[in-house]
Amino acid sequence: MDQITAFSQSIEQSLQLMQKLERLMLQETEILASRHVDRLQPILTEKQLLIERLEQETTQQKHWVESANHAFTLAGIELFFRDLDPSNDLSNRWSALRATIERCDRLNDANGRLIERGRKRVAMSLRLLCGDDGQSTTYDPYGRATSPTHQSRTISRA
C-alpha cells in the first residue's frame, strides 16, 4: 500500500471516529439537559474508547507527516499534502475532519457548562437546606451592600 492510500485511509478512519464522537456528545448533551445522569455512563465509556482510537490514528498520521520531514502543524500538514496529493483530495478530507473536531470542541465546552450549572444548582440547594442562602445582601440608605445581621433559618427551623 502506498503512502497516500494509507494516509487517506487513516484520515477517513479519523473522520468516521470523530463523527461517532460528535453523535455521542450530542446524546450526552440531551442526557445532561434532561438530568438523566444514570444514562450517562455508557456514553462516557464509548467516548473514551473512541478517543483512544483517535489518538492511535493521530499518532500514525503524525509519524507519516514527520517522516516526510514536515512538522505536524497546520502549515506542515499543508506542505505534506501538497507534496503527496496534488489533487487536493486529502486536503479536502482533512478540512472535513478539522470541521468535525471544531464542532466536537464546541459541544465539549457546552456540555462542560451544563455540568457546571448543574453543580452550582445542587450546591445552592444544599446551602439553602442548611439555612445559608449565600446570596442575601441588603443595602444601607447610602446604597452600600451590607450583610444581613440576622441568622438565616434552615427549613427545619422555619
Residue ranges of domains in the chain: 3-134
Q: CATH second-level architecture of 3-134?
A: Up-down Bundle (1.20)
Nearest-5° Cα angle at 8, 56 to 69: 75
Stated pTM of the model:
0.73
Sign of CA dihedral 33, 39, 45, 47: negative
- Binned at pLDDT 50, 70 and 90, residue 46 comes out as very high
Render pLDDT for 92-140 as a digit per residue (tens, 0 to 9): 889 999 999 999 999 999 988 888 887 787 778 777 777 765 555 666 6
Continuous segment of H or E residues that includes residue 154: none
